[in-house]
Amino acid sequence: MNFHIVISLLGPICLLALGLILKFSNNPGLGSSKKYWPYIVIIGLILLALKIWKLFL
Protein backbone atom coordinates (compact mmCIF):
# COMPACT_ATOMS: atom_id res chain seq x y z
CA MET A 1 0.00 0.00 0.00
CA ASN A 2 1.11 3.52 -0.61
CA PHE A 3 1.97 5.69 2.34
CA HIS A 4 -0.80 8.23 1.63
CA ILE A 5 -3.42 5.47 1.60
CA VAL A 6 -2.36 4.29 5.04
CA ILE A 7 -2.39 7.86 6.36
CA SER A 8 -5.86 8.50 4.92
CA LEU A 9 -7.23 5.46 6.75
CA LEU A 10 -5.89 6.61 10.12
CA GLY A 11 -8.63 9.23 10.66
CA PRO A 12 -11.61 6.85 10.55
CA ILE A 13 -9.71 4.21 12.53
CA CYS A 14 -8.91 6.78 15.23
CA LEU A 15 -12.59 7.77 15.37
CA LEU A 16 -13.56 4.13 15.87
CA ALA A 17 -10.94 3.74 18.59
CA LEU A 18 -12.08 6.92 20.33
CA GLY A 19 -15.70 5.79 20.31
CA LEU A 20 -14.83 2.39 21.73
CA ILE A 21 -12.59 3.96 24.38
CA LEU A 22 -15.49 6.19 25.44
CA LYS A 23 -17.77 3.15 25.57
CA PHE A 24 -15.58 0.97 27.75
CA SER A 25 -13.87 3.64 29.86
CA ASN A 26 -14.62 3.87 33.57
CA ASN A 27 -13.11 7.34 33.87
CA PRO A 28 -15.63 9.67 35.56
CA GLY A 29 -13.71 12.67 34.20
CA LEU A 30 -15.18 12.07 30.74
CA GLY A 31 -18.55 13.20 32.02
CA SER A 32 -21.30 13.71 29.48
CA SER A 33 -19.08 12.96 26.48
CA LYS A 34 -19.55 9.23 27.10
CA LYS A 35 -23.11 9.41 25.79
CA TYR A 36 -21.86 10.33 22.31
CA TRP A 37 -19.84 7.16 21.69
CA PRO A 38 -22.38 5.53 19.30
CA TYR A 39 -22.38 8.59 17.04
CA ILE A 40 -18.58 8.67 16.94
CA VAL A 41 -18.42 4.97 16.07
CA ILE A 42 -21.09 5.30 13.35
CA ILE A 43 -19.32 8.29 11.78
CA GLY A 44 -16.02 6.40 11.91
CA LEU A 45 -17.56 3.37 10.21
CA ILE A 46 -19.12 5.51 7.48
CA LEU A 47 -15.86 7.34 6.82
CA LEU A 48 -13.89 4.08 6.78
CA ALA A 49 -16.38 2.51 4.36
CA LEU A 50 -16.17 5.54 2.06
CA LYS A 51 -12.37 5.49 2.12
CA ILE A 52 -12.22 1.77 1.33
CA TRP A 53 -14.86 2.18 -1.40
CA LYS A 54 -12.84 5.02 -2.91
CA LEU A 55 -9.73 2.81 -2.96
CA PHE A 56 -11.41 0.24 -5.19
CA LEU A 57 -12.86 2.68 -7.72
Contact 30, 23 (CB under 8 A): no
Confidence at residue 50, expressed as pLDDT on a 0 to 100 scale: 93
pLDDT at 49: 94
| Spatial contact of 15 and 43, defined as CB atoms under 8 Å apart | yes
| Within-domain flag for 23 | no
DSSP secondary structure string, 1-57? Answer: --HHHHHHHHHHHHHHHHHHHHHH---GGGGGGGGGHHHHHHHHHHHHHHHHHHHT-
pTM, entire model: 0.80
> Is 3 part of any domain?
yes
Q: What is the pLDDT of residue 7?
A: 87
Say what the pLDDT of residue 1 is.
60
Q: How many domains, in total, are found in the chain?
A: 1
How high is the pLDDT of residue 42? Answer: 94
Looking at residue 34, its amino acid is K
The residue range of the domain holding 57 is 1-13+37-57
Flag whether 31 is in a domain.
no
Q: What is the pLDDT of residues 1-57, one digit of tens each?
A: 678 888 888 999 999 999 999 888 888 887 787 888 899 999 999 999 999 898 888
